[in-house]
Amino acid sequence: MTNEMFCFQCEQTAGCAGCTGRAGVCGKTAAVANAQDDLTRALIGLSLDLAGQTPSDEQRRVMLEGLFTTVTNVSFDGVSVATLTSRVNALRTGASGTDCAASGEPLRLWTEDEDVRSLKSLILFGLRGMAAYAYHARMLGYLDEQVDAFFFEGLRAVGDREAGMEELLPVVMKVGEINLKCMALLDRANTGSYGIPTPTTVPLTVEKGPFIVISGHDLYDLKQLLEQTKDKGINIYTHGEMLPAHAYPELKKYLHLKGNFGTAWQNQQKEFAELPAPVLFTTNCLMPPKASYADRVFTTSVVSYPEMMHIGEDKDFTPVIEKALELGGYSEDKPFTGINGGSTVMTGFARGTVLGVADQVIEAVKSGAIRHFFLVAGCDGARPGRNYYTEFVKQTPADTVVLTLACGKYRFNDLDLGTIDGLPRLMDVGQCNDAYSAIQIAVALADAFGCGVNDLPLSMVLSWYEQKAVCILLTLLYLGIKNIRLGPTLPAFISPNVLNYLVENYGIAPITTPEEDLEALLKYSNSTL
């Protein structure tokens, strides 16, 4: 391969085919991309070395860190990636061959037969996304041996040079199966640590005085920051996928957790430009910082960017706190709005809340007050065409309910869609991993009506960007959920033959226009219930 790099794991990959030049669309340089491929080949080698053995706790931990580090928009620092690769190699027990070319070059995987490459990519990218969830759970002391063991099993399949479609397809589906267990694990970790989410209205106005913006997904890091900033006159604002934190009782009790700043992750370079406050990134969704705010960006955990201040495992956020006090915040309350002009957003409609009014929901369906449910969810991104999701939600009829989760909701979460019999028409279930909660809601409704999930008046219209969306999609397929609409583009790593398999067996289809898709999806009404 003559390309300086090769990466096609995210939705915005160049030309919908693959980033191959000096840098990826995300800003990752070729050197970092190839360092991440070195890390991946080391993880594959570790997995092959341990075939038939039980990994140690340290081997399990480095596996999660390694896979998580290679998720899009996590690490832009080749030095930190190389350091992690050295840790992996130090834990290897043999010299097994791997699916790789020479060190510092793209993986041999990228040049395999296109169908094999496609299925191995689904496995690898799904494992990367799932590793993020397992990592967050581990930070809260929650582990699952079956989940941890599967990362090694899955990578052995990726490294198997003899495996064809027949051998790989079951592994792809198993990624979905194990990811369901992994999301359940993280759900237990979050609710066990912070309580059951409750519906919460979150303001978008930033109050005067010093403040810190915290981004990413890791609620553990948020809790540490809240503890370290209480009684210091510093307010905390969530950003991106941290928004659902406002719904957890053990987090919302901190009165200086004030609200949410900004919209989806891809708008940060504009929204942070003149921010008089530091920003702490706890997981992915970091973009290369602009010079106008580079001095106030901090990273922690597996997130890394060259020359940015990094907070280590001790989680001592003193430098962030000092920067907040130095910058001082706004001199007066500063009102902001969502993309559609709303001044507040709501979150906290996880399964505990929705199933708590299940009788009301069921009666509304039976009476015809609720005709249809839409799950409009997934990752946001910058590619043109994502306004489809805004228009789709705006055009949903008044007798339908929209469930949403992940950062794609920022396209429409400040809209007021009204209510049906006292139930909000727009319900934010939470982070991307809270797809588990959405699945449990669907399963509970199916049980109540004595039908399968595919027989419910429920349609899934999903957007994707990075690898966590891949493992969630595989979980939905594992559960047999059909007729999913996916956009704004189909993954570049899905070969025509694999796509045909997904279409024929699961009815996956690309989004078209809001009008056409609504007309098609609303044909599945509640008349059969």
For the stretch 297-330, pLDDT in tens is 999 999 999 999 999 999 999 999 999 999 999 9
Residue type, 407: C
Query: In percent, how much of the chain has pLDDT > 70?
Result: 96
Q: What is the tens place of the pLDDT at every residue in 135-185?
A: 999 999 999 999 999 999 999 999 999 999 999 999 999 999 999 999 999
- pLDDT band of residue 93 (cuts 50, 70, 90) is confident
Q: What is the tens place of the pLDDT at every residue in 408-431?
A: 999 999 999 999 999 999 999 999
**pLDDT at 99 (0 to 100):** 44
| 198 CB neighbour count, 10 Å cutoff | 17
Q: Return the bridge partners of 476, or none.
A: none
Q: What is the tens place of the pLDDT at every residue in 321-340?
A: 999 999 999 999 999 999 99
**Average pLDDT rounded to a whole number, residues 62-71:** 98
**pLDDT at 523 (0 to 100):** 84
**pLDDT at 148 (0 to 100):** 98
- Does 31 score more than 70 pLDDT? yes
As a whole number of angstroms, the distance between CA 130 and CA 468 comes to 6
| 362 CB neighbour count, 10 Å cutoff | 16
Q: Where are the domains of the chain?
A: 14-193, 200-327, 351-528
CB burial of residue 92 (10 Å; 0-12, 13-18, 19+): middle
As a whole number of angstroms, the distance between CA 411 and CA 488 comes to 13
Fold of 200-327: Rossmann fold (3.40.50)
Q: What is the tens place of the pLDDT at every residue in 367-381?
A: 999 999 999 999 999
Of 119-123, 324-328, 351-355, the least confident: 351-355
* Domains 200-327 and 351-528 agree in fold: yes
- Does 437 score more than 80 pLDDT? yes
- pLDDT band of residue 524 (cuts 50, 70, 90) is low
User: 401: part of which helix (H) or strand (E)?
Assistant: strand 400-405
As a whole number of angstroms, the distance between CA 524 and CA 529 comes to 11
Mean pLDDT of all residues belonging to the chain:
95
**pLDDT at 389 (0 to 100):** 98
HSE at residue 107, side-chain half, CA atoms within 13 A, is 27
The pair phi, psi for residue 451, each rounded to 5°, is: -140, 175
**In CATH, 14-193 is 1.20.1270.20:** yes
**pLDDT at 101 (0 to 100):** 43
Q: Which CATH number fits domain 351-528: 3.40.50.1220, 3.90.1570.10, 3.40.50.2030, 3.40.630.30?
A: 3.40.50.2030
Residue type, 423: L
- pLDDT band of residue 100 (cuts 50, 70, 90) is very low
**Average pLDDT rounded to a whole number, residues 215-242:** 97
As a whole number of angstroms, the distance between CA 246 and CA 204 comes to 12
Pairing of strands 400-405, 200-203: unpaired
- Does 96 score more than 60 pLDDT? no
- pLDDT band of residue 104 (cuts 50, 70, 90) is low
